[in-house]
Chain A
């Protein structure tokens, strides 16, 4: 159904509105300012087409006020290729339903109120404008959110399902809710595709896994202990066997020990005799060795003594030779020292001459510097004097500044002007005294009477206020100015003030105001100041450059130079040498002297070096001499020592006798040794007895250790009591937990898989069923720059449910978007779904009252394009998107004005007239 036009009369503020020839598809903009009745139009159309029969009383609030007229609404529409018109006179049973004949005439189908209403509803798609497709496409003001899925018209859903197919059944909903609930037993949050979810710590499975881990550890420990016990059991057998074996060995060894002890006792006498012989033999051997050693020692001492005495004479000879070398070196050094002293005397003479030359040269330089400094002082003093004179002049002849002078000039001009004005305001009193006329005296303006001279030419006096003429013999004439002499008073006052100002001004410059040249004088002074001031500055600058630190510094310099010159010592008059008076000659002489001194300095250095070498030579010779002397002393000491050592030893005869005695004793001891020789058994009896004793001890120890170990194992075995039950209990727990966790893990994985598959399948289903709508909405959202979403998730009611982020990891509710974006997404979905339900043969009407109020201008521009495209439909889509007739009622026509849109101005009186409010 599409609208062709409508005519509404007497609906609230609307007196009449008539819109005809609406285009079948496209965007139609009805605009007018606020409170012009736009929403009333929508309500009237809803009432007429769907909501109420004409007899209703529910619309009384829509009747116009201040009149008894009742609303009449007529809507012309097209459905299934035929045009119809429904006319309802509300507040009565007068209704009419007409159809248009092929010839263009209107044929009344029915005038029965109820039937007309039903027929209209049939074509309009229902008797409730808030249901059916209208729920999607007929929007009242401020209605921008999509309907709740539960409240979304089931009929529309059914239509969509018929076109698109089944998306998600209620069973699917219940199923996935159950799966999610189970999934949430193990995990928290939402399942994220492709991401390994962390098990909830609080879930039973996690707890059991933890317990299992602990149990496994316990079991492992328990098994280890059990293994240990088993090992101990095995060991006990071995220990038993070993115990028997050790006891047998001990018995054998104890028997051996007894036999050997007896044998040891029997051979003890012989062994002791043998031991004594061995001891005597060792003593004799020791004495013999000592005697021989002493004999050898004496021979060596005698030899050493002879050698040490022989070494004394060569040492003494060497000491004498060294003394000679020292003497020779000392003589050579004395000769060099004498030569050096002579050379130094000559050098000192040269130095004295050079000093005198240098002093004279310095005196000459200082004298020159003193002359120059004195010149500077003179010049600076002259400049200073000039500056002082000029400054004095300026002080004595002060001049006004430019502004003051200008003010004075103005004053004088004003004074001239005031004078002229006063002149003009005065009365010319012309007096002519004839020759013979009696004397007359004239007093003007209070001044003294003066004789009026006789003249051929008349005298003209300017009288300002009063003139008195006294004519002798005649009387007097008095001329008085009248009372209206205010202007003159003012002039006089101004003149007085002007003069007073002038007098005050010039007086400060030492000039009398009465001096008619006063102003000229000031001008002249100013001119003079202008010339002199830069000159003074220039001179001061020059002076500053010559004497930056003032005249004092120049004077100080002169005095310093004079002092320095005075400090130069005068030439000794006894000095036989006369120095040149010319500076050049003096400088040459100085250079010559310097050259000679340098040569002598080199010679002195050479001699110094030679003395140093000679000193070294003397020191070396002395060291040698000392060393030789020490050697001699050593030789003497050694010889003494050898002699003393020889003296300490026994005599040769004594030593020979000692050796003979020792040889004899040795022979006797060897004989005794031979007589007491032991058999092999006697020799080894001690070792054998010791070995068997050790063996017995070791066996006893082993038996003791074995017994200890046996008891230890026994104790440990007894301590293992209860281990079996504990091990069983732990193992049972571990087994149970293993079974439980395996089972639950499998269930968890199965639930996770179901969840994943459901999501995947739902995605695919969505792609298949909602693909065209989804793609269209998402494309439009991207045109509008609404978020950066990968997809819009639709619920089974074909309404958007969630928005998925670009990377697919985050899910957002549409309510998380801004109000504007929610409104826009809602509009896009309405348009997409509406287009799906519309067809080229049967376009649908979208009635949008004041839409997109939360949309910014940028998006509105894009939205215009989207509205136009939605209105055009798209046959390429599967299922095809049908065209729409989009009627927009707005107070912002500029938002929706498009070159292809049909724009109707409700302000146009030909379109709409209103009741006076």
Chain B
């Protein structure tokens, strides 16, 4: 029996832009923490080795000292750490002058525990009846199936080793760009693999072979980099190199994970267990303040678990009274102060609408009353420029008028 961890798409040195700089740095830092976590969880589960199916680095231009060296150090681990087998993915393909050709990765492999697999040839895992079939990528995009070479190495009749494929690409199970390193959908079956560890897709998934056993799996990214459920509405400034860019397969579910895989013997069905190792949770939420009192919302978000490790994008909509609108600030403070850097509250879509009694109380009978009427007209106007500023203008009016009410 062997046990290993399958991870992929670490994207260390991640390029995130849609946050303020501090948040970007902290989000980047969290990926290292998660990698450390991967090492720790591997030790906890006493795995025999770790497989990383590509995209260790977000790009070749990552900083050597800040990213490449540090990554190596974490993966190298301590003397009792298990070995790690790595292949290059489409973000960090094996190209001359690339990250893999720089120190410390340039050194003869394996160094101690890190095995960077440069060649498409079978590799025996020392001390275990396991043969790895690494499929390193040499291009960002390619129409060649990276696993195709395995066909030249069918299982011999008397071969009882556990055959594990390690590849980075898209399993050809749906319409995809043809240069997205497409991997035949029956690869595990076809090549006689006990397990095909895949990387590239950020969402965790596993796929059944013809015998109904799940032998092919994507581990998903080890640390989230996407607001689940936002359907791409909220960009973080990262984009894949695939022709379809920010497609659904590159959207994780808000928290990072790896797979703990156990295979008893060659041919035995692998047991695949997702292990959460991600540091941060990403959450994009929408709340309608018309249907839920702001007080409830405030207490809800104030009581959430691990807010300090949650990147929250809270979008409020609906209609509130001016008094209620003033409480949005309270909620905003909670989001900004308690949640992880990069969290935000967007209340632009909240309309302030006092009732008829409040209206005269708030704006009085003087000029403001007329101003309010005009702004409302602007909001209905076909003039885009007027319409654009009408809503913030109204909010500002209510807000100032409210604040200027005699206490």
- Give residues in A with beta carbon < 8 Å to B: 166-169, 171-172, 174-176, 178-179, 226, 229-230, 232-234, 236-237, 240, 710, 713-718, 720-725, 727-729, 731-736, 746-747, 749-754, 757-758, 760-762, 764-765, 796
Contact = CB atoms under 8 A, between A and B. Distances in A.
Given A171-B401, A750-B389, A796-B366, 15 more contacts: A166-B364, A168-B366, A169-B366, A172-B364, A233-B98, A234-B139, A236-B97, A714-B101, A717-B98, A721-B61, A747-B396, A750-B395, A753-B393, A754-B393, A760-B374
A734 B17 contact: yes
A736 B20 contact: yes
Contact of A724 (B20, B63, B140, B392): B63
A884 B120 CA distance: 109
Nearest to A766: B367
Given A725-B63, A732-B237, A757-B375, A765 B396 contact: no
A741 to B, nearest CB: 14
Interface of B: 13-21, 24, 28, 58-64, 66-67, 93, 95-98, 101-102, 138-140, 237, 363-368, 370-371, 374-375, 378, 386, 388-390, 392-393, 395-397, 400-401, 403-405
Contacts of A232: 97
A754 B396 contact: yes
Contact of B389 (A733, A749, A764): A749
A717 B95 contact: yes
A167 B17 contact: no
Question: In this complex, which of A236, A721, A723 has the most chain B Cβ atoms within 10 angstroms of its Cβ?
Answer: A721
Contacts of A760: 374
A230 B389 CA distance: 42
A677 to B, nearest CB: 57
Nearest to B362: A171
Contacts of A752: 389
A760 B367 CA distance: 9
B64 A233 contact: no
A735 B234 CA distance: 13
Contacts of B97: 232, 236, 713-718
Given A171-B404, A727-B15, A758 B93 contact: no
Contacts of B14: 728
B400 A761 contact: no
Contacts of B138: 237
Nearest to A167: B366
Question: In this complex, which of B63, B366, B392 has the most chain A Cβ atoms within 10 angstroms of its Cβ?
Answer: B366
B404 to A, nearest CB: 4
Given A171-B401, A724-B63, A732 B396 contact: no
A736 B21 contact: yes
Contact of B367 (A717, A727, A731, A762): A762
Contacts of A725: 13, 61-63, 66-67
Contact of A169 (B64, B67, B364): B364
A729 B19 CA distance: 10
B400 A717 contact: no
Nearest to B68: A721
A765 B62 contact: no
Nearest to A222: B61
A734 B237 CA distance: 11
Nearest to A728: B15
A728 B392 contact: no
Nearest to A731: B17
Contacts of B378: 753
A734 B366 CA distance: 43
A761 B378 CA distance: 14
Contacts of B368: 169, 171-172, 175, 758
A723 B61 contact: yes
A236 B19 CA distance: 34
B62 A724 contact: yes
Contact of B370 (A716, A721, A765): A765
B57 to A, nearest CB: 8
A760 B377 CA distance: 14
Contact of B374 (A167, A732, A761): A761
B60 A229 contact: yes
A236 B95 contact: yes
A761 B364 CA distance: 14
A31 B13 CA distance: 96
B21 A733 contact: yes
A760 B15 CA distance: 49
B401 A720 contact: no
Contacts of B15: 724, 727-728, 731
A732 B17 contact: yes
Question: In this complex, which of B64, B93, B388, B393 has the most chain A Cβ atoms within 10 angstroms of its Cβ?
Answer: B393
Contacts of A179: 400
A724 B59 contact: yes
A317 to B, nearest CB: 101
A751 B389 CA distance: 9
Contacts of A166: 364-366
Contact of A237 (B17, B139, B386, B403): B139
Contacts of B19: 732, 735-736
Nearest to B58: A724
A398 B102 CA distance: 142
Given A174-B404, A229-B60, A750 B392 contact: yes
A593 B87 CA distance: 139
Contacts of A727: 15, 61
25 contacts: A168-B366, A169-B367, A171-B363, A172-B366, A175-B368, A175-B397, A233-B139, A237-B95, A710-B96, A720-B61, A721-B64, A724-B59, A725-B61, A725-B66, A728-B16, A731-B17, A746-B392, A750-B393, A753-B389, A754-B393, A754-B396, A757-B370, A757-B393, A758-B371, A796-B366
A175 B396 contact: no
A728 B225 CA distance: 14
Nearest to A727: B15
B365 A735 contact: no
A376 to B, nearest CB: 111
A172 B28 CA distance: 49
A724 B13 contact: yes
A168 B367 contact: yes
A449 B175 CA distance: 186
A757 B237 CA distance: 39
A233 B60 contact: yes
A69 to B, nearest CB: 56
Given A724-B62, A725-B13, A746-B392, A175 B374 contact: no
A169 B360 CA distance: 12
A727 to B, nearest CB: 7
A580 B367 CA distance: 133
A735 to B, nearest CB: 5
Contacts of B374: 757, 760-761
Contact of B16 (A714, A721, A722, A732): A732
A827 B405 CA distance: 36
B366 A718 contact: no
A718 B63 contact: no
Contacts of A176: 367
B61 A226 contact: yes
A765 B96 CA distance: 76
A722 B65 CA distance: 9
Given A727-B61, A735-B18, A754-B371, A721 B366 contact: no
Contacts of A720: 60-61
Contacts of A236: 95-97
A175 B404 contact: yes
Contacts of B98: 233, 717
Given A233-B98, A727-B15, A169 B400 contact: no
B123 to A, nearest CB: 23
A236 B24 CA distance: 32
B12 to A, nearest CB: 10
A754 B16 CA distance: 37
What 10 A-B pairs come out closest when comparing CB atoms? A717-B97, A714-B97, A169-B366, A761-B370, A723-B61, A731-B17, A724-B61, A750-B392, A728-B15, A750-B393
B59 A175 contact: no
Contacts of B396: 747, 750-751, 754
